[in-house]
Structure 1
Amino acid sequence: MPLDAATALAAGPRITEIVWTAKDVQLYHLGIGAGRPATAPGELRYTLESRLHVLPSFATVAGGGAPGVISALSMPGVDVDLAHVLHGGQRLEIHRPIPVEGRAESVSRITAVYDKGKAALLVMRTEVADGDGPLWTTEAQVFVRGEGGWGGDRGPSARPAPPLGEPDVVVERPIREDQALLYRLSGDPNPLHADPDFARRAGYERPVLHGLCTYGMTLKAVVDTLLGGEVNRVRAYDTRFTGVVYPGETLRIRMWRGDGAIRVAVSAADRGDAPVLADTTVELSCPVRL
């Protein structure tokens, strides 16, 4: 069996050193759509080295290593076809503001393997710390189609209640035709996002945008719209990927202010508001200013 849950769970952690520079941060920000308009003060905080702030979602690509999805597939006990893999969800917890340049130790391991019937769900947890202590923790949920059905634990099924009432803010963010090509330079070479033949083999009409690119674009919209650009107010960020986005489309991002958190829902405006991100929450270090 290509997926051996017992082996994956018993494997020791993968420990690597990661290094990033201001150029890596700038490239990531450009990859999620920063810099439009190029000279706007609010955009220069993402693109100009003398004013640079790090959007917390940079943690998902810091060091240029493989993201949680690709990394999980190279762990012991996991030998599956990349075309059968879907990124199911992502959680990020920020312990300290991410420095513009840094060197840190990354410790990753598979912490759970669930049997979803027609698919297996892997949970890949990564903890990153530098000489001053913990920086961030990420948790990627990875679906592998065709690898379920062995009678294992199905895992938790509870989901948060949807936000009530009309959203407080709705914004739209256009996606460049070459957005996926730019984003993949930050470390995710999955051909699903660039190769039309591979995309068709995976069941899509054409290459799709990285889920983590949508993830970053959404967080940037929240920070810019409701947090006044204060990236360090983000304490945690959690989402479930519910649909694909194609380069050239437009994201419609709905936001609800809450007590210590912002609830978010994202859809593809060009395809009848097809859901893209759901169960999405940005937890804050201090309340939203009304």
Structure 2
Amino acid sequence: MPMNLDAVGASTGPTRIAWTETDALLYALGVGAGQEDALGELAYTTENTAGVRQRVLPTFGAVLAQFRAPADGSPRPELDIGTYDPAQLVHAEEAVTLARPIPAAGTMDVTTTLAGIYDKGSGALVVSDTVGRLPGDPPDSPTLLVRSSLFIRGEGGFGIPGPKQPWGTPDRRPDMALEVGTRADQALLYRLSGDRNPLHTDPKFAARAGFTRPILHGMCTFGVVGRRLLSALGDDDPELFVSISGRFSQPVYPGDKLSIVVWSDGPEARFRVLGPEGWVVLDRGTFVTRPR
């Protein structure tokens, strides 16, 4: 089942998407906002609290880039990356960059380009870039940039190596360690933001993919971690957010408690996320904020 290498460089869009205040609220709940303190994150979880303006978690940009349907109700166009067994697909890496905060509701024109298909030996790494423009964005400054990488097991062997991506941590102990939890029903709630992959809910499908039970969406873990880092490093202020990126290295299961170790150097921090047994589940993390 070969990858379609000829599709590299192809684009879909621009496609006009739309979202509502409810979509932004549902995403925030799906990545854990309000779970530890129901009144602690009302700017993300309510739209009508007196004296509190609704705000949007920056990682919601990944949902807009990949899962929102066109505003006119038509099917969302997809890149033709080839044929493969969907049970062998897992999320590999994600990066979200914002030039400005995402509004609580609105429209956006998104264009997705297939940046590359790379041979990783045991599988293929499929990399796509999405640009999202709000009405009124300057031509050279789109609001949203998302790079998403998917790993398809068993589809390697075609001989196109990927680019080197240097990453490292300072030669010192982490500057902080943060804790964040997930709930047993986390995947059931997160999927309502658009990612209905049965890998995260169907035990038989998960078993076909080699897992003992459904795993948490990688992008849910990404949102949970991004939310915690924004609170710790960005004063819980989306205006200060610039970007977040990371590589998914091990599965997270709904209900897992996560530890985030952070090395902070001014506006740029590097981080790793550890699962309950101490293994790294999200690696090569970066989190960048604007100077205060």
Q: One fold, TM greater than 0.5? A: yes
1:150 aligns with 158
Please give the per-residue CA displacement for 1:39-64, whole angstroms capped at 9, x wherever unaligned. 43x41121121331111100111388
User: Structure 2: 5+ residue runs without aligned partners?
Assistant: 70-74
Using the TM superposition, give the Cα deviation of residue 33 of structure 1 relative to its aligned residue in structure 2, in angstroms. 0.5
2:128 aligns with 124
Using the TM superposition, give the Cα deviation of residue 260 of structure 1 relative to its aligned residue in structure 2, in angstroms. 1.6
Using the TM superposition, give the Cα deviation of residue 36 of structure 1 relative to its aligned residue in structure 2, in angstroms. 2.7
Check if 1:106 corresponds to 2:104. no
Please give the alpha-carbon distance, in whole angstroms, between the structure 2 residues aligned to 1:34 and 1:157. 35
For these two proteins, the number of residue pairs brought into alignment is 279
Counterpart AA for 2:290: S
Please give the alpha-carbon distance, in whole angstroms, between the structure 2 residues aligned to 1:63 and 1:258. 29
Please give the alpha-carbon distance, in whole angstroms, between the structure 1 residues aligned to 2:171 and 2:42. 35
Counterpart AA for 1:242: S
Residues 107-116 or 175-184, more deviating? 107-116
**CA distance 1:136–1:10, shift in 2 (3 Å):** closer
Structure 2 residue corresponding to 1:195, chosen from 202, 208, 225: 202
Counterpart AA for 2:285: T
User: Structure 1: 5+ residue runs without aligned partners?
Assistant: none
Contact 1:119/1:149, CA 8 A, preserved across alignment: yes
Check if 1:49 corresponds to 2:53. no
TM-score calculated relative to the size of structure 2: 0.89
1:30 aligns with 29
Using the aligned pairs only, state the percent identity. Answer: 37
Check if 1:233 corresponds to 2:240. yes
1:140 aligns with 148
Please give the per-residue CA displacement for 1:227-264, whole angstroms capped at 9, x wherever unaligned. 22112211111111111100111011112221221221
Check if 1:283 corresponds to 2:281. no
2:72 aligns with none
1:246 aligns with 253
Residues 230-239 or 206-215, more deviating? 230-239
Please give the alpha-carbon distance, in whole angstroms, between the structure 1 residues aligned to 2:9 and 2:45. 42
Please, what is the CA RMSD of the aligned residues? 2.1
1:91 aligns with 95
Please give the per-residue CA displacement for 1:204-227, whole angstroms capped at 9, x wherever unaligned. 110000111111111111111232
- TM alignment of 1:212-223, pairs within 5 A: 212-223=219-230
* Richer in helix (by share): 1
Please give the alpha-carbon distance, in whole angstroms, between the structure 2 residues aligned to 1:78 and 1:66. 22
